[in-house]
Amino acid sequence: MSDANEGGARTLGGGAHSSDSFRRKAEGLGPSVYVDLDRTLFQTSRTEEIWQAVEQLYPAIDANEQSARATEFHTDTPYGYCYDFFAQLKSLGIDGNEARRRLLTLPLADGRLQFDGEAELVAWLNERADVTILSFGKRDYQSFKQALCPALDGIPLETVMGSKGEWLADKGECWLIDDKPQTDLPPNVRFIQVSLEGKEVVSQPWLVLTSLADVKEYLSHNIDKS
Ligand SMILES: [Mg+2]
């Protein structure tokens, strides 16, 4: 797996991480909260804006054309598709590390791809929980999307290519916040589904919330009891 583009998103110090939250994490205090990235913390439906930014930096690139051929770089798995953005850049002769670095200097990285209420939720969680991004997909691309979201600066990122339920099974009592229905979660996981893109909410046997402000509100009443 190419990890060459990972890095910036893990910058520590300052930002959302107070020394208190480091201490809490080091001592294993506070509940563990795992939060999905795509469509939960990152507006994946706006991915074409990444290609528009690539076009801005590399004028020979046609953003619409590249958005349209992105599926050529999808790999289907039983858990969803995996997109290799950096392989697509490479196919265009673009160095991924350089592109990443340059893209992160653009307005694209100013938080516009976050959801409403995200900065507040993440900062609040970071003060009272051991919060981790748990994302399905290739690590270099997921790390890049995290880095596009200033609210997620310094939050640990875990990437999986299989079942989140299996991955969480040995993590003890924890929470998972994810836009995808999760039907195989072990009993140690408390699940909140989010639906943040205005789609009709399907009734589920678990809690479904339609804003990150609502997630914060719900957790404020329930997280300390977990
Ligand atoms: Mg998702």
Task: Look at residue 79 in the predicted model and tell me its pLDDT.
Answer: 87
Examine the pLDDT at 17 and tell me if it is beyond 60: no
- Expressed in angstroms and rounded, the spacing between residue 209 Cα and the centre of ligand 1 is 14
Q: Distance of CA 206 to CAs 14, 134, 199, 203, Å? A: 36, 19, 17, 8
The residues with which 183 forms a beta bridge, in sequence order, are: none
The contacts of residue 199 (CB under 8 Å, 6+ apart) are none
- Expressed in angstroms and rounded, the spacing between residue 189 Cα and the centre of ligand 1 is 17
pLDDT confidence bin for 27, thresholds 50/70/90:
low
Alpha-carbon gap, residue 121 to 214, rounded angstroms: 9
Alpha-carbon gap, residue 35 to 68, rounded angstroms: 29
Of the candidates 47, 36, 39, the residue with the CA atom closest to the CA atom of residue 108: 47
Domain extent listing, the chain: 8-43+111-225, 46-108
Q: Is 8-43+111-225 a CATH 3.40.50.1000 domain?
A: yes
Query: What is the spatial order of strands in the sheet that 189-194 belongs to?
Result: 157-160, 130-136, 32-35, 174-178, 189-194, 207-209
pTM: 0.87
Alpha-carbon gap, residue 135 to 178, rounded angstroms: 9
pLDDT single digits (tens) 115-159: 999 999 999 999 999 999 999 999 999 999 999 999 999 999 999
- Expressed in angstroms and rounded, the spacing between residue 41 Cα and the centre of ligand 1 is 8
pLDDT confidence bin for 11, thresholds 50/70/90:
very low
* More confident: 1 or 72: 72
Task: Look at residue 22 in the predicted model and tell me its pLDDT.
Answer: 53
Task: Look at residue 202 in the predicted model and tell me its pLDDT.
Answer: 86
Q: What is the mean pLDDT of the chain?
A: 89
Q: What is the dihedral of CA 91, 57, 140, 49, to 10 degrees?
A: -100
Q: Which amino acid is at 136?
A: F
Quick check: 127 and 20 in contact, CB under 8 A? yes
Lowest mean pLDDT among 21-25, 116-120, 190-194, 195-199: 21-25
Examine the pLDDT at 19 and tell me if it is beyond 80: no
Helix, strand, coil percent values for the chain (each to nearest 5): 40, 15, 40
Task: Look at residue 80 in the predicted model and tell me its pLDDT.
Answer: 86
Alpha-carbon gap, residue 134 to 131, rounded angstroms: 9
* More confident: 16 or 74: 74
- Expressed in angstroms and rounded, the spacing between residue 125 Cα and the centre of ligand 1 is 19
- Expressed in angstroms and rounded, the spacing between residue 197 Cα and the centre of ligand 1 is 11
| Residue range 210-224: mean pLDDT, rounded | 95
Alpha-carbon gap, residue 86 to 152, rounded angstroms: 21
- Expressed in angstroms and rounded, the spacing between residue 60 Cα and the centre of ligand 1 is 32
- Other CB atoms within 10 Å distance of the CB of residue 51: 20
Lowest mean pLDDT among 17-21, 47-51, 69-73, 222-226: 17-21
- Expressed in angstroms and rounded, the spacing between residue 59 Cα and the centre of ligand 1 is 31
| Residue range 58-78: mean pLDDT, rounded | 96
